[in-house]
Homo-oligomer: A and B are copies of this chain.
């Protein structure tokens, strides 16, 4: 147990943190209908920005309803335009390296398959047994279809993968190394630069899942040496349920890799509808079918708020909010038999905190009845998603005090 400052649990401490929070004004940019609800699940579904509600009315009622097909003149570039903004404001990439399209699953499939196609002699994929399910399932399907081996690494369940975990299974038979930057359960951050560098030295490509990272921590795709990445926009980017995902292809690889799903939105001179597929130059080659326009507009609004707050300030608040949650865990919950399921080092931790006890499923359900929304992850974790733009310290304290009271019964 950490050494505790006796003032940790003092409600004045939460108030003081909130008063000093440089991002506190951003909460008002979101529709918060019910100020008594404690929402600690922004890592599953981020809140609705007020500007998004307005934008969606415009897109649906004025653009679709009024401009009709003519609106495609300004809708067509949305996937690339929103991708450019996301690249530069959130992902540490350049314009022309990111596009918004499809779901994370479909993007992961496209990039993983393209990577395997680009390393045809190699017969192994490296990933983490604790990786997000959809990534594991897609890989399992690709490995079966192509007769490949998956080399599973089993990193520490709390602190996540270390470069050495990858290094020990890397050799010149590995085509692809794919990991989540922030683990969906523990929030452990993987060392993207070190692992990307090891993979590159072995001749393998890297594919990073940024779903729990984008909009929560700084992601330096270009500087870190990542090859490929995907991620969702409905968590810390606040773009709404099932909003389209993004994908990143390092510019140096764009001439080498090819989208395996050859759709008309990736076609050069699309409306010529020519006889043979010829990919459009640049990142738009990774589009497939017709993008969902209102949902893309919602991504643009979500990214705009993150851009305005600044990813540096967001990351700093994520570290501070999660540190506060860890302190409260240590003060209130550890004595009741809980254990921390997230790294203690804030540098290694994303914007959520997992706390573990054997009855986590029951406790998460009981919290919901007390108007505290968290989520449960098998087998024994309650995840507290602390969304830097919308979660207050007071909310964290209230939620955790209700959990303490429930757990103490």
Q: Interface residues, chain A, CB within 8 Å of chain B?
A: 31, 33-34, 37, 39, 41, 44-45, 47-48, 52-53, 56-57, 60-61, 64-66, 68-72, 75, 102-106, 109, 117, 129, 132-134, 136-138, 140-141, 145, 232, 234, 240-245, 260-267, 270-277, 288-296, 368, 373, 375, 377-378
Contacts and interface: CB of A to CB of B under 8 A. Distances in A.
A238 to B, nearest CB: 10
Nearest to A260: B141
A375 B261 contact: no
Most chain B beta-carbon contacts within 10 A, residue among A64, A368, A375:
A64
Given A267-B133, A289-B245, A41 B69 contact: yes
A272 B378 contact: yes
A66 B34 contact: yes
Contacts of A57: 57
Contact of A263 (B103, B242, B273): B103
Contacts of A138: 261-263
A134 B264 CA distance: 5
Contacts of A276: 140
Contacts of A41: 68-69
A341 to B, nearest CB: 15
Contact of A104 (B47, B132, B136, B290): B290
B44 A263 contact: no
A56 B132 CA distance: 30
A293 B242 contact: yes
Given A66-B34, A145-B260, A106 B105 contact: no
Nearest to A71: B241
A240 B67 CA distance: 12
Contacts of A264: 105, 132-134, 137
Nearest to A56: B60
Nearest to A241: B293
Copy number in the complex reads 2
A29 B105 CA distance: 36
23 contacts: A31-B61, A45-B72, A47-B65, A52-B60, A64-B241, A71-B241, A75-B241, A103-B289, A103-B290, A117-B145, A129-B275, A140-B262, A140-B276, A141-B260, A141-B261, A240-B293, A240-B294, A241-B290, A241-B294, A242-B292, A292-B292, A294-B295, A295-B295
B133 A261 contact: no
Contacts of A274: 133
Contacts of A377: 273
Contact of A39 (B48, B68, B104): B68
A323 to B, nearest CB: 24
A109 B28 CA distance: 43
B69 A48 contact: no
A61 B53 contact: yes
Contacts of A39: 68
B48 A64 contact: yes
A234 to B, nearest CB: 7
Given A102-B289, A109-B263, 18 more contacts: A31-B65, A31-B66, A45-B64, A56-B56, A56-B294, A70-B373, A75-B241, A106-B288, A106-B289, A109-B288, A133-B267, A137-B277, A232-B290, A241-B294, A242-B290, A244-B292, A273-B378, A294-B294
A109 to B, nearest CB: 5
Contacts of A294: 56, 240-242, 294-295
Contact of A295 (B52, B136, B261, B292): B292
Contacts of A61: 31, 48, 53
A264 B108 CA distance: 12
A264 B109 CA distance: 12
A256 to B, nearest CB: 16
Nearest to A52: B60
